[in-house]
Each structure stands twice: as structure tokens, then as C-alpha cells.
A and B are shown apart, each in its own frame.
Chain A
Amino acid sequence: MAIRVNPGFIDDLDRFGKENIQRCYQCGDCSAVCPHADEFYRFPRKPIRLLQMGLEKKIQTILEPWLCYYCGDCSDLCPRDADPGDTMMILRRYLTSVYDWTGLSRKFYTSHWWELAAVLIIGILIALLFSVINPHGIVTSLTPEGGVKVNEMFPVETVNIGAHIMLISIAGFLISNIIRMWYFTLLRDKSLKISFMSYVTQFWKLIVHFVTQIRFNKCKGKSYWLFHWVLVSGYVLMFVLIVGKLKWFQTEKIYSWFQPQRLLGYYATFGLLIGLVFFFWGRIKKAGQKFKFSHLSDWIFIVLLLLTTLTGILVHIFRIEGMPVATYYLYIIHMAVLVPMLAVEVPFSKWSHLAYRPFAVYFSEIKKSALSKGKKDNKINT
């Protein structure tokens, strides 16, 4: 059965980022230079071909964009300046919106106004909420150590409930979207004969790639992987501290600096700062192919995280230094940045790749074993 070509598809794709894929004449230089392309995943050439022809259903099944870490070698080499690397980026945005059943992802990616408004509205609501629900207002008295009584101003129990609500909803969105991703990429294609065992045997790859992102290291420019890893480790650690272990982390007692609360917090902050400065600087300077094109979603993600980190640092300093008024306002601002960042970016926008990428690696390995088995069977048959 022939698949219908949709030449208008790229006009839609354009809304996820300006592509130049019709320049591509399929020479395949990009796939030749890509360290991740192999006989099963011939990208960027093959996905670009599907895009050119607008084979929407086929595109929904591909995992290749997630296997790309955008080193930019392909774009450097492209004889037609078709920017295959950026096309993979655009495809990741598109696929994120395909996996997302709420439709919000598509709205955020295709409309700057939607994304900005969502961040702004959630930020204002959170600021209002925190100014209203605190029972004592600004508590000016200090703890015996001379620190600010944060837990009196913003009771950790209440904040923790909010944190858990957020954790559950983010997880809910992400998990349901990953199930959709699983359906699109592995289940829908009936010709793919996947054994249950490969889900089990390949599972360790999911964990390894989530923790290390080691495939990134195959690309040229090892510093990218390193900075990215430092950023991710800081981010994940901080996420666990503030969302999962808030009661342990947000204390009035000022621990000495070698206590785990402070040590872990400092490491996470340091990791975030180092990573963010590297990526922020790279995007401003457009240093290399990787940073040549910056979509609004790329900027919002860096800017919000940087603001969250900086306000978090300030809250910490003001609390220790015993500055209750400054602590009070900075805490509210910190929350007004942090919450929309987590609520908008993690499930619906750029940050979702922290889940999709390791799952894509996992799924791609499963698919590969199914395909290579199919190949072997074919060989036996023919």
C-alpha cells in the first residue's frame, strides 16, 4: 500500500524551527560522518527524506532524532547547507509534541506567546500563592545561630505538599507521554516482532544512559559531554533535594559546610552554574554548529534555570546572613521562577529530553535486536 506524500508537511514543521531540508539532495554525507549512524539508523539522511516527502506516520515512528546529540559535523559537511543537525533538533521538538497527548507541547513549541504566557502566568500565580498562604508574613526574629526563620515564613510541610503534587503531575505527564512514545515507535509497526526478553535484557541501557549520557561522548568535542553531564548531575541532584527531600534540605538550622545538606547543595549549585554558563555563553557567541540556531524554547530553558540557580544562591546567602526581608522576597521570586520552569519545561518542552533520550536509546536497542533478528530470519528464508 502506497503511503501518501504530504508536500505541505514541511510548512507545518517550519513552525518548530526554520528548516532548510528541501535543500537536501540526499548525498548522504551527513550519515557518513555521523558517529551514531549505523546500518539500522541511517540518519540524518533517512529522517530528512521522510520529512521532505511529509510521511507523517513514518516520522512518528522514528527514534533517530533522539540518538543525535547535535555535534554539528553533519551541518559542517553538508554541501547544500541544509543544516541536517538543526533538522534533528527541530524533529526532537516535533516528536515531543507528537508524544504529548495534552497538545500543550505543540502550543509551546509553535507559539512564542503561548510559552511565554504559560511561564508568566504560572510565575505570577505562584508568587501570589506564596504571598497569601504564609501565616506569619515576614518573620524578622532570627534563629539562635543568627539565621532567618525560613520554615516559619514558608512552612516546609506545606511547601513539601506542593512539591509532591508537582512531582506527581510531572511524572504523570512524562510517563503517559513515554507510553505514547513506546506505542508510536515500537508497538504501532506490526511488522516489528519484538521479544519480551529484549525489554528485560536491554533495560540496563536505559539506566546507564540516563545516568551517564555516555553516547554523547562519541561526538567530537568531549567538553560538551562533560559540561552537559555536570549540568545534569547538578540538576538531578537538586531536583531530588528540593522535590523529594525538602524537609531534610530546607532547614532553619545552619549546618557546618561539610554536612551532607550543604555539601550536596553546593555540588548541585556548582554543577548547574558551570553547565549553564557554558551553554549560555555558547548560545550567545553562537560557538559552532551546535549553538548556531537557538529556538525560544532553548533560551527560556537556560534563562529560567539560571535565574532559579541565582535566586536559590541568594536565598541561601540571605538566610545565613540573617536578612529576613531579602530572604522573604527572594524566596518568593525563586519559587515564581522554579515552578513554571519545572511545570512547563520538564513535561512539555526542552527538558522532556531527559526522559525521552534514555528511553529512545533503550527502545532503539530493542528495535535493533528485533530488526537484526528479522534480517537473520530473512536470510534463512531466502
Chain B
Amino acid sequence: MPKIGVYVCWCGTNIAKVIDVEEVARFASGLPNVTRAKTYKYMCSNPGQEMIVQDIKVYNLDRVVVAACSPIMHERTFRNALKSAGLNQYLLEVANIREQCSWVHTDPVEATEKAKALVSAAVSRVGLHEPLESMSVNMTPDVLIIGGGIAGMTAALEIADAGFPVHLVEKSNQLGGNLLRIDLTAPYLYSARDLLTERLTRIKDNKQVHVYLESKLTELTGYIGNFSATIKHIDGKTITDEKAVKIDIGNVVVCTGYKEFDASRIVHYGYGKLPNVITSFELEKMIRTGRIETKEGKIPKYVAIIHCVGSRSKEFHTYCSRVCCMTALKYAHEIKSANPSCYVSDIYIDMHAFGKGHEEFYRRSSEAKTLFLMYEKNDKPVIHKASPQDDCEMFLEVNEKLSGEQIEIPADLVVLMVGMEASEDYHEIARVVNISHDKDGWFIESHPKLEPVATTTDGIFIAGTCVAPKDIPDTVAQARAAAARILARIAKGKIEVDALYSEVIEEMCSGCRFCNQLCPYSAIEFNEEEKHSHIISALCKGCGVCVAACPSSAIKGRHFTDQQILAQLEGLFYKAEAEKQDS
């Protein structure tokens, strides 16, 4: 018979204000197999944990239930407490009586009854818990990096400098990515070329970096620490099988960057029809060649810059592309310094000057007499041609928000600040490396705040603008963060894999392969010879989809067995169970 200890936490007043914790403890002490039931102000505190450890030792407890906050918060804490008392960490069950009870209910009587039910469920479940061991797998030090822009190059150098081999795959014929197309960077006006040259030289000199130009990752199999990647050469648009390489790698960083929004999609801006309506990248090209001019070769007297082209709109993309505001200010600077008598109008929805040095840069641009005009998100500027007697090529009609006036702005050159879009092959990349993307095509991080570069697939990291639009400092920070995460794992040499994975009971498997397609983590492979499915435990997240789907009940979810779940339900409905037994 198991000996169970139940520990009910007050969480200060968070739980105790609504739930009668003493009543819950009293109730728990009457449940079958419960040896000890106690309450404490903060169970997660050192004295709280110490109490549990002591009880395990003194009363020989072999199962523990903690009724407290969500297991996301402190399951790890209490598992460690069990470990330090010499008990297997999986012999713990957390009953969430805070987020799922005290925080969402106001009636103390009802809330206490619910807390009792949750504790009862946990008690009857924990009795069936089995001691589990997490396993450890080898970590191949080689790292694969997809995308040779500033993010990919930075991550590659970071890992290679630590002495580990890096395979950098770039689909175009040179490294550098979108930064190659840029002249100066905002807000400090550093040369983009300088940023790149330094990186390129170091990559060239570093023997640990293997660059694969005009190449693509076509297949990735295996799991964290033990991936096998197939890299193929692209000849123009087609992928060729000649020169295909197969390499063993331990981790992957996806840095596939962005592509620019296609300005011709906003028909009424006339991009592609009006010759002097150009995109920011076309202006960038002019600046790099050293001459800002109209298609007719004239020096423009009026330049109008329209912000949020393709961004922050319901029809195209709702997100903000984050770099365009500062880039537009940079253009105002560059145009003014090339031609001080030129008038620059900056037509925006909002000015997003959030980063370091940005607000100061915005102010400096104001002082350079840039005319800032605000338009309504759903009331875009309209461009029309000027008549021959006007001293400009075009007029932009804007319902100016700050003055409330309907105005016309003269322009010889209109620059569209095209936003960022996920690169065209995001879908394919996501499929090959088995990560997910949002509706806009940006790859999804495993936690937006605490895990910004990890994905839900272990061993696959994401960095830079393939995650979401961002500027160079943020991109570089993410690339280095991903590299640091990988280096930490390589340094350990092995990796612990959580014991919560599913197993196929091979003798019961009919080989229907139903589960193979369903697994969201591609963790199930099929053994053709034996004709049964097999779960790669390192890849499995224990989500249970296969367990539920298996028509032969041949898959067992460790720590989530049918018996455990049924026992939990019985515990939850303890009153009904009691009535049933009475009758």
C-alpha cells in the first residue's frame, strides 16, 4: 500500500483567502492511503520544501501530492525536493488549486469543495505513479545553420570560434543576405558594408565554418544531438542531386530572414506604373551608387516617403515591420545631406522610435527640417500626377490627422517603405526542420518571452527576422543567444530527455501506421521489417495524440497511462463514487 503525503499551500492569501485550506487538509487526511496531510503558508519556500523532505524520510512516504499553484510554476521545485529526499521525482502529483480554483472562484464554500475534489483526484492518481528515469543521448557537436545573412554568419562565427564545426547553408551565390542591399544603418549611420566585411573575412579565415552556397537543406532526420541533414545544390531554380551532401549534426539554427513586401500589391500607390514611385530598396540602391534622381535623371526637389507600406493594415499585414520608421529617417538624412535644398516629407501612421538611440535620431531628423505628416491607417495617401505648370511631378493627397486638414504634398520622388514578409520558402523550411509558423509565416518560438530562440522541436533554434521583423542589433542578439544555447549543450556532451514519452507495445501494434502521420513532432518511425511503429523517445514530447488515436491501444503514454487517468477521474468524482457505493 502506498504511503501518501498531502501538502496544501496557502500561497500567502492567494489560495487561503478563498479556500479553507485547513478543511482541505482535514479532508485529505481521511482519503485512502494518505499518511500525512498538512498546510503551510508558502510550500515552495525552503522551510516548506524541507517539511516535505523531512516527512518523506521520517514517515517513509512514497508518494507526494502538493495542492498549490499550476505545475508550470513549481512542479520542478517539488520534483527536486522529492529527489533530495531520495524519492523518484515522478512520484509527485500537483493539484492546481490556485489558477484553476482560488483565482477564478469567489464563493469560499464552493471553491473549497472544488479544491477537495482536485486533491482527491491527485491522491487517487498518484497511487498509480511509476518511478521513471529520464534518459540521456549523445550530442554531435556539428551545427547546421540555414541562411547566410547577418544572423546566420554571426551564429556561425560564435560557434566556430568556440572550436566546433559549423555548416552554413545559403541559397544564393554569396553570403550577406538582405544587408548586402543596404548602404548605411540607422540610427548611428554605420556602414552596412563594414558590418558585413568583417564577418565575411572572419568566416573565410575560420576553418571550422563550412559554407555551402547555392544550396538547400532538403531533408532532416533524427533528433536532438543526432540529426542527419541532406544538403543539395540549387542550379538556378532546380535542385540537383549531384553534389548532394549528407552530414551528421547535433543542432540547427534557422536564420532564413525576410523578403520585402511587393509594393505593387497596393494598387493605388501606382508602383510599377508611375515611374517615380519607388521602393525603399530601390532608393537604397540609388544611395549606394551615389546619385538620387528621378527616372528622367533629374535631381528631385521634393521627396515624399510613405511609411507602413504593407504593414499595419488589415488587407496586407497587421504587424509592424519595426525597421521602416528608422530607415525612413535615415533616408531623410541621406537625401538632405546629398541635396540640402531638397524637401523631404515623411508620411506616417505612427512614428515607432522604440530602440536605443532612435528617439534622438527622430529628433535630429526633425531638426533637419523633415516635414512629418500623419495619415489615418485606413485612409492611405493618394498619389496623382501634377499638371505641367506645377514645379513637381506628383501630388500626394493626405487627410492629415494632426491638423485635420485635407492637404496635397508635392513630390518628385515617392519612396514606399515596404515592410518585411516571411521569406517565400518559409513553409518548406518549417516542414523540413519540423517547426511551426504563424499565419504570416514567421516561425514560432517555444515561449515568446522566456524561450525566444528555441522551438517546440528540440535542437532546432530560430534567430533573426525569420521569427518576426526586427533590426540588426536584435537579430545579432538572437543569433548569439541561439549559439550560446547550443554551445552549452555541446559542452555537456550529452542531453537529458524527459521521461514523459510514449512507447509502442510492439506485440500489440498492427502496423496500421495511423500514428505515423498524426505525430506533430515526427517522432514515430516505421520498422518495415518487423512491420510495427517505433517512437523515437528523444523526439517525443508525450503529447498523447498517438495514444488516443491508436486503434489497437498499443501505445502507452508514460506518466499518462489509462489507469492513471481513470483513477484521477474517479478521485475527482469522489462524491458520486461514494453515493454509488452507498447504494
Count, chain A residues at interface, CB 8 A:
22
The segment from A4-12, A202-210, A347-355, A371-379 that touches chain B is A4-12
Is B334 part of the binding interface, using a Cβ–Cβ cutoff of 8 Å? no
Whole-angstrom distance between the Cβ of A206 and the nearest chain B Cβ:
30
CB pair A2 B345 closer than 8 Å: no
Complex contacts, A10 vs chain B, CB 8 Å: 369
Q: Does B539 contact A (CB under 8 A)?
A: no
**CB neighbours of B397 from chain A (8 A):** 2
Is the Cβ of A7 less than 8 Å from the Cβ of B302? Answer: yes
What B residues does A2 contact at CB under 8 A? 395, 397, 406-408
Which residue on A lies nearest to B345, using beta carbons?
Answer: A7
B369 to A3, Cβ gap below 8 A? no
Are the CB atoms of A4 and B408 closer together than 8 Å?
yes
Residues facing B in A338-358 (CB within 8 A) are none
Whether B443 is near chain A, meaning CB under 8 Å from some CB there, is no
* Contact present for A55 and B407 (CB under 8 Å): yes
Residues of A within 8 A of B403 (CB): 46, 49-50, 53, 55
Across the interface, A23 reaches (CB within 8 A) one of B345, B366, B402, namely B366
* CB of A135 to closest CB in B, whole Å: 61
Most buried by B among A1, A2, A58: A2
Given contacts A10-B369, A53-B371, contact A23 B406 (CB under 8 A): no
* Residue in A22, A46, A55 whose Cβ sees the most chain B Cβ within 10 Å: A22
Which residue of the partner chain A has the closest CB to B343? Answer: A7
Does B405 touch A at the CB level, under 8 Å? yes
CB of B363 within 8 Å of the partner chain: yes
Complex formed: what's the CA distance from A49 to B373 in Å? 10
Cross-chain contact B367 with A23 (CB below 8 angstroms): yes
Measured between beta carbons, the chain B residues less than 8 angstroms from A8 are 343
Of residues 154 through 207 on chain A, the ones whose CB sits less than 8 Å from some CB of chain B are none
A44-88 interface (Cβ within 8 A of B): 46, 49-50, 52-53, 55, 58, 80
Find chain B residues with CB under 8 A from A151 CB. Answer: none
Q: Which residues of B contact A24 (CB under 8 A)?
A: 366
From A7, A23, A25, A53, B405 is in contact (CB under 8 Å) with A53
Cβ distance A83 to chain B, nearest Cβ, rounded Å? 12
Q: Using Cβ atoms and an 8 Å threshold, which residues of chain B touch A5? A: 345, 371, 373, 407-410
Q: Is B226 an interface residue (CB 8 A)?
A: no
**Known contacts being A7-B371, A8-B343, A22-B371, is A53 close to B407, with CB within 8 Å?**
yes
B-chain residues with CB within 8 Å of residue A58 when the two chains form the complex: 405
Q: How far is the CA of A5 from the CA of B397 in the complex (A)?
A: 10
Closest to B409 in A: A5
Q: Report if B351 contacts A (CB, 8 A).
A: yes
B382 smallest CB distance to A (angstroms): 10
Closest CB in chain B relative to A25 CB, distance in Å: 7
Q: Give A91-133 as 1s and 0s: 1 = Cβ < 8 Å from B's Cβ atoms.
A: 0000000000000000000000000000000000000000000
Among B343, B374, B403, residue most surrounded by chain A Cβ atoms (within 10 Å): B403
Please tell me if the beta carbons of A25 and B345 are within 8 angstroms of each other in the complex: no
> What are the interface flags for A4-37 relative to B under an 8 Å C-beta threshold, 1 for contact and 0 otherwise?
1101101000000000101111100000000000
- Please give me the residue from chain A that is nearest to B302 by CB atom: A7
Contacts of A3 in B (CB 8 A): 405-408
| Cα-based distance from A182 to B395 in the complex (angstroms) | 33
Chain A residues with Cβ below 8 Å from B408 are 2-5
B400 within 8 A of A: yes
When C-beta atoms are compared, the residue in chain B nearest to A55 turns out to be: B405
- Is the CB of B372 closer than 8 A to any CB of chain A? yes
CB of B478 closer than 8 Å to a CB of A: no
With both chains docked as a complex, state the minimum distance between the C-beta of B332 and any C-beta of chain A, in angstroms.
11
The reply to whether B366 and A22 contact each other, CB–CB distance below 8 Å, is yes
- Give every chain A residue within 8 A of B409 (Cβ-Cβ): 5, 7
User: Which of chain B's residues have a CB closer than 8 A to the CB of A52?
Assistant: 371-372
Q: Let me know if B533 is at the binding interface, CB within 8 A.
A: no
Report the minimal beta-carbon distance from B391 to chain A, rounded to whole angstroms: 10
Please determine whether A22 and B367 come into contact, CB atoms closer than 8 angstroms: yes
Q: Which chain A residues numbered 242 to 280 have a C-beta less than 8 Å away from chain B? A: none
B370, CB-defined interface residue at 8 Å: yes
On chain A, the residues within 8 Å of B400 by CB distance are: 53
CB-CB under 8 A for A80 and B366, given A3-B407, A5-B371: yes
B364-412 at interface with A (beta carbon < 8 Å): 366-374, 395, 397, 400, 402-403, 405-410
A349 → chain B closest CB, angstroms: 28
A residues in contact with B372, CB < 8 Å: 22, 25, 52
Q: Which residues of B contact A26 (CB under 8 A)?
A: 374, 402
Known: A7-B371, A22-B370. A1 touches B363 (CB 8 A): no
| A residues less than 8 Å from B302 (CB atoms) | 7
Partner of A53, one of B363, B373, B395: B373
Q: How far is the CA of A55 from the CA of B402 in the complex (A)?
A: 13
CA distance A80 to B363 in the complex (A): 7
Q: Shortest Cβ distance from A48 into chain B, in angstroms? A: 10
Cα(A342)–Cα(B461), bound, Å = 80
The complex places the Cα of A213 from the Cα of B373 at a distance, in Å, of 37
- Which chain B residue has the least Cβ–Cβ distance from A50? B403
B368 partner residues in chain A, CB cutoff 8 A: 22
Closest chain A residue, CB of each to CB of B400? A53
Listed residue (B366, B395, B397, B408) with the most chain A CB atoms within 10 angstroms of its CB = B366
Q: Which residues of chain A come closer than 8 Å to B407, judged between CB atoms? A: 2-5, 53, 55
CA distance A61 to B405 in the complex (A): 15
Task: Name the distance in Å between A365's Cβ and chain B's nearest Cβ.
Answer: 23
A24 to B345, CA, bound (A): 15
> Please, which residues of chain A bring their CB within 8 A of the CB of B351?
25
- The docked-state distance in angstroms from the alpha carbon of A2 to that of B371 is 17
CB distance from A62 to the nearest CB of B (A): 12
Chain B residues within 8 Å of A22, by CB: 366-372
* Cβ–Cβ contact B366 & A25, under 8 A: yes
Give the chain B neighbours of A55 by CB distance below 8 A: 403, 405, 407
Give the shortest distance, in Å, between A55 (CB) and chain B (any CB).
7
- Distance of B176 from chain A, by nearest CB (Å): 35
**Closest chain B residue to A3 by CB distance?**
B407
Residues in B neighbouring A49, C-beta threshold 8 A:
402-403
Shortest Cβ distance from residue B191 to the other chain A in the assembled complex, whole angstroms: 27
Rounded to whole Å, the gap between the CB of A52 and the closest CB of chain B is 6
B415 CB to closest chain A CB, in angstroms? 15
- Chain B residues with CB below 8 A from A25, complex form: 351, 362, 366, 372
Q: List 7 A-B contacts (CB under 8 A).
A: A2-B397, A2-B406, A3-B407, A5-B345, A26-B374, A53-B405, A55-B407
Instruction: Give A residues with C-beta under 8 Å from B.
Output: 1-5, 7-8, 10, 20, 22-26, 46, 49-50, 52-53, 55, 58, 80
Q: Which 10 A-B pairs have the closest CB atoms?
A: A7-B343, A2-B408, A49-B403, A2-B406, A26-B402, A7-B371, A23-B366, A4-B408, A5-B409, A22-B369
